[in-house]
Amino acid sequence: MGPLNTPRAPSVVFGFYRDQCTRSNAVLASLPLSARPIGRHPAPLGDEITDLRGIVLHMIEETARHAGHLDIVRELIDGKTGLGPR
């Protein structure tokens, strides 16, 4: 798979991300963590995610994973770690 390319400006992409965060925050504020998803959800997460709590946990895991990937790339570029150079 090649690199992700988009004709959209970074400001548009980041704006979309912020809008989605706002929507997610509104959902979290209006529903209990025990609320069940509505509709069909494809495997593998369709069977695994049973409530809003599971969705939140999944998003925390995904965010941490991708932040870790980005941190590794940064370390490869400048040799610095979160604790300073090694």
Nearest to 24 by CA among 59, 67, 62: 59
Instruction: For 17-59, write each residue's pLDDT tens digit.
Output: 999 999 999 999 999 999 998 877 676 666 677 899 988 998 9
Residue 73 within a domain: yes
Residue 3 within a domain: no
Residue 5 within a domain: no
Residue 66 within a domain: yes
Instruction: Name the domain count of the chain.
Output: 1
Q: Is 75 helix (H, G, I), strand (E, B) or coil?
A: helix
Q: Are the beta carbons of 72 and 78 closer than 8 angstroms?
A: no
Instruction: For 56-78, write each residue's pLDDT tens digit.
Output: 998 999 999 988 888 888 888 88
Range of the domain at 22: 10-85
Strands 80-81 and 84-85: antiparallel
d(CA 50, CA 57) in angstroms, rounded, equals 11
d(CA 5, CA 20) in angstroms, rounded, equals 20
